[in-house]
Amino acid sequence: MPTVEISHISKSFGSTRAVDDVSFRVEKGEIFGLLGPNGAGKTTTIRIILDIFKPDSGQVSVLDGSLDETKKNRIGYLPEERGLYKDQKLETVLLYLGTLKGMEMSAANERLGEWLHRFDLYQHRHKKVQELSRGMQQKAQIIATLLHEPDLIIVDEPFLGLDPVNTRLIKEIIEEQRFAGRTIIMSTHQMYQVEALCNRIVLVNHGRTVLYGEVEQIKRDFAGNAVVIEGQGDFSDLPGVLQTRRENSDWHLALQPGTNPQDVFRALAAREGIKIERFEIAEPSLDDIFISVVKGDDEVEGVDNG
């Protein structure tokens, strides 16, 4: 049984359709990426999974069935718009949130000590939250998400505001949770983190599913939709190219769906002042795929994302 299964869910706010017939499954013990540009409907989808919002239509199954109060205590959630009680002591806040998740105070106290030590926050436990740095507050939020050892962890932009050291720490903890058999749904804009961590992803845009499957398979499917060029000259504004970016001495071109790399090559050959030293059909990064799919979808929708 999948840990989360949502089937054809839709949700509107007034005349805005925030989620439109979205379906996906999240298997037990996997890290699943819920991706999409800002305003795509990710947060609404998460809130529907968490029973904060009821869908207008469709089915949601979480931890083998409908979500009830007991099951809610088996979920850890790190929302994108996060915050803690700023005028209260760190320890008090975390214990309150832990006990609200069904933990006994003694157990919460004991486990909190371990987490605080691990995150280097133990000596700050009696400080008010507002006295902590942004990074410390971020780590405290992650403790609040994991303190009650949830079976399903939903993290929205977990690396936001963290330095490279703490980013690595959080990454390790996410992997550690997966090894412990927990299911993780991660929403982030950092595609390299998704590539590094996620088994499968769903990409939503304008409330609809536009891409869904295993990361490796998706990359294979999109091979040919990106080329790498080494050379000199102007490689911008080529027909059928969605985005051109320079990485070191290479040019990375993300192609529109349906554009053949040979067409790009021909266009380059016809352009004046171009010298090509290397032209390679690349395996696209998730970043390229994200841009390719979202921009392509926007063009179909007639939306200008700037």
Partner 1 sequence: MRNILLVIKHEIRTTIGKRSFWIMTFMFPVLIVALSFGSQLLAEKSFANEEVAGVLRSEAAAITGLVDEAGLILHLPPDVPAKLLQTFPNQASAQIALEANELDRYYLIPEDFRQTGEVILVVSDYSPLANLSSNTLFKYIIDANLIGDDALARLMIDPTPNEVFYPQAVDVQAEDDNGVTSFLVPYTTMMLFFMLISMTGNMMLTSVTKEKENRTMEVLLLSLRPRELMAGKLLGLEIVALLQMSIWLGGGLLAQGGGGQVLRSSLAALTPSFVLWALAYLMFGYLLYASILGALGSLAPTAREGAQFSFLVMLPLFIPLILNTIFVESPNGGLATFLSLFPLSAPTSMVTRLVSDAVPAWQPIVGLVGLAVTTFFFISLAARFFRADTLLSSASLTRQRLLGALLGKENQEGRPSRLR
Q: Which of residues 43-102 bind partner 1 (CB under 8 A)?
A: 47, 50-54, 69, 72-73, 75, 77, 79, 81-88, 92, 96-97, 99-101
Smaller CB distance to partner 1: residue 61 or 88?
A: 88
Distance CA 60, CA 50 (A): 10
- Token pair in block for residue 118: 């691990």
Residue 304, judged by CB atoms within 10 A of its CB (0-12, 13-18, 19+), counts as exposed
Q: Answer whether 204's CB lies under 8 Å from 34's CB.
A: yes
Report the nearest approach of partner 1 to the CB of residue 102 (Å).
Answer: 8
| Shortest spacing between CB 148 and partner 1, in angstroms | 10
What's the min distance (Å) between Cβ of 56 and partner 1?
9
Closest CA to 33 of 201, 183, 214, 192: 201
Rounded to 10 degrees, the C-alpha dihedral 184/189/194/199 comes to 50
Q: CB 57 → partner 1: shortest distance, Å? A: 13
Which CB, 69 or 237, lies closer to partner 1? Answer: 69
Q: Which amino acid is at 112?
A: L
Choose, by CB under 8 A, the member of 2, 7, 12, 28 that binds partner 1. Answer: 12
Query: What is the smallest separation between the CB atom of 271 and partner 1, expressed in angstroms?
Result: 49
DSSP class of residue 89 equals B
Q: Nearest to residue 5, comparing CAs of 69, 86, 79, 60?
A: 60
> How far apart are alpha carbons 169 and 166 in whole angstroms?
5
Whole-number minimum distance, CB 16 to partner 1, in Å?
A: 7
Contact region for partner 1 (CB under 8 A) — 6-14, 29-37, 113-121, 270-278? 6-14
Closer CB to partner 1, 4 or 294, in the complex: 4
Using the contact rule CB under 8 A, the part of the chain among 13-21, 223-231, 245-253, 279-287 near partner 1 is 13-21
Beta strands in the chain (DSSP E): 4-13, 16-26, 31-35, 57-62, 75-78, 152-156, 183-187, 200-205, 208-214, 226-232, 241-247, 250-255, 275-281
Report 129-168 residues binding partner 1 (CB under 8 A): 144
Q: Are the CB atoms for 37 and 305 separated by under 8 Å?
A: yes
| Of 13, 216, 266, 303, the one binding partner 1 by CB under 8 A | 13
CB nearer partner 1, residue 140 or residue 226: 140
**Closest approach of Cβ 274 to partner 1, in Å?**
50
Q: Which parts of 184-274 fold into alpha helices (H)?
A: 191-197, 215-221, 261-270
Residues in the interface with partner 1 (CB under 8 A) total: 31
Interface with partner 1 by CB under 8 A: which residues?
Answer: 12-14, 16, 47, 50-54, 69, 72-73, 75, 77, 79, 81-88, 92, 96-97, 99-101, 144
